[in-house]
Each structure stands twice: as C-alpha cells, then as structure tokens.
Amino acid sequence: MRTLPLLPVAALCAALAACGEPTASTPPAPLDAGRYAATFDGGLGGTGEGTAYTYDLSWSLGVPQFWVELRDERVPERNTLVRFIVRTSTLVPGRHPVGGAAAENPLDAVALQFQSGATTADVRFVGFTGSVDVEEATSAAVRGSFDVRSGALHAKGRFNAVPAPF
C-alpha cells in the first residue's frame, strides 16, 4: 500500500480551502448623498441605481407624511421608481416593517415604471411586505437599506436620500 507524504496533502487541502467562498463579506462602498443602488428580482429589470430624495408632503396633506423616492436613471426612456411612504412625522434609526394597515405599520412602499415619460404608470407593484433599516435620519439625509417583496418582485438595496432640490 502506497502512502502520500503528509506535507503535500496538507498543502493541497489548504490550497483547495483558499479557492472557496470568503467567510467574511466586504462591506459595500458608501453611497454618495442623493444616491441609491438596488437589485430587482422578478421584475423592473435586474439592477437599479439613481437618485434618492425625500419629499415632505405634510404641508399639503395636513397630516404627517413624507416620501423616500428612489428613481432609476439607467434607462432614461423607462422611468422606474420605488417610493417608501412614511405616515409619521419622523423616521428614526432602526428596523421598520413595511406593509399592513397604516395604523399597524406606518411605512408602505410602491414601485412604478413609466414608459416613455407617460403620466400614468404602465407597471405597478403594490402590497409590499418586508422592512426598511434606517441607519441615520437627520434633516440633511435619511440613509439605510431595504428588503421588500410584492408578489414576484423582490427589491433589495440601500439608499442615502437627501431632501429634494425644489
């Protein structure tokens, strides 16, 4: 019976282990102010990136509400956006459930796709469930990540939203 020397076998095992998946993940690079990045499985075209703005609508609605709107700018003729509707006066750091009754979870989401600048969305996703994790919430920015689903659409990403420029 032939035996292999121990040292080459150990080196081979170490080399094979190095070829596997890394055990620690590398954090993604920070997003610039007013930007988002996401993936969309099951609809809305794969990956997305673009602008991330907040809109305070409390003054026009008479009740506390603001939006965090993520607008995809990769394909100008197909305007896609994900909008998180916040029905409270503030969004504080922490995990916030999405969906359900407004009284139960004051955070909701919609995803819309407009073809060729149409005024009415051609594709709509509503009834999202999941969560938004807010890392920072100040008057200058709302920064965090999201992982939400609506039917076949799974949207996952991160944002660094700033107040809309107008």
pTM: 0.77
What's the confidence (pLDDT) of residue 113? 80
Q: Is the pLDDT of residue 15 over 50?
A: no
Give the residue carrying structure tokens 């938004």. Answer: 132
Q: Is the pLDDT of residue 41 over 80?
A: yes
Residue 145 backbone phi and psi in degrees, to 5:
-140, 165
Q: Which is it for strands 142-150 and 153-163: parallel, antiparallel or unpaired?
A: antiparallel
The sign of the CA dihedral 139, 50, 60, 131 is negative
What's the confidence (pLDDT) of residue 133? 95
Assess contact for 84 and 107: CB atoms under 8 A.
yes
What's the confidence (pLDDT) of residue 42? 87
Q: Is the pLDDT of residue 10 over 50?
A: no
- Whole-angstrom Cα distance, residue 85 to residue 150? 15
What's the confidence (pLDDT) of residue 114? 78
Cβ atoms within 10 Å, residue 24: 5
Assess contact for 41 and 150: CB atoms under 8 A.
no
CB-based burial label for 154 (10 Å; 0-12, 13-18, 19+):
middle
pLDDT (tens digit, 9 = 90+) per residue, 122-165? 888 888 999 999 999 998 999 999 999 998 899 999 999 999 98
Assess contact for 48 and 74: CB atoms under 8 A.
yes
Q: Give strand pairing partners of 113.
A: 80, 123
pLDDT (tens digit, 9 = 90+) per residue, 45-89? 788 899 999 998 888 888 888 889 998 877 766 778 899 998 887
